[in-house]
Amino acid sequence: MDIEYAHAILKTARALIEKHKPYASLQKKAAFANAVQELVCGVAGGYGGPSVREHAAVHIFGPSKPLSFNSAVDLLADEQGPIFGPITDIHVWCYLNEECFDNDPKDLEILRARTI
């Protein structure tokens, strides 16, 4: 994998989401950029995490084959998708079974309430 290309994908995804969803939490914007990078390049990292939302996105949309940048952006920017949508059963599963870091505090409240 070309590390410079992966870094460019990460930065481009972050700039795009900052422009189109400025209201989103820092954690969700980071999860978006990280997940785009992972789905396009097959490598993860750059902006902390992986958060529960990043894990959920990769479980849902990857890692069978790399996606184009535009396909990854379209899937992950969806207001009802794993990054910006509601917490779903896959998020709970990831929270309980994956190492998750840098989660949105509001997400943690919901996840903890659903796992008591």
pLDDT in tens, 71-108: 999 999 999 999 999 999 999 999 999 999 999 999 99
Predicted local distance difference test score (pLDDT) of residue 64: 76
Please give the average per-residue pLDDT across 17-39, as a whole number: 97
Residue 13 CA from chain centroid, whole number:
11
What are the tens digits of pLDDT across the range 30-67? 999 999 999 999 998 789 989 999 999 999 998 778 99
Residue 69 has pLDDT above 70, yes or no: yes
- Whether 5 shows a pLDDT value over 70: the answer reads yes
Task: Write down the pLDDT at residue 62.
Answer: 83
User: What per-residue confidence (pLDDT) applies to 1?
Assistant: 67
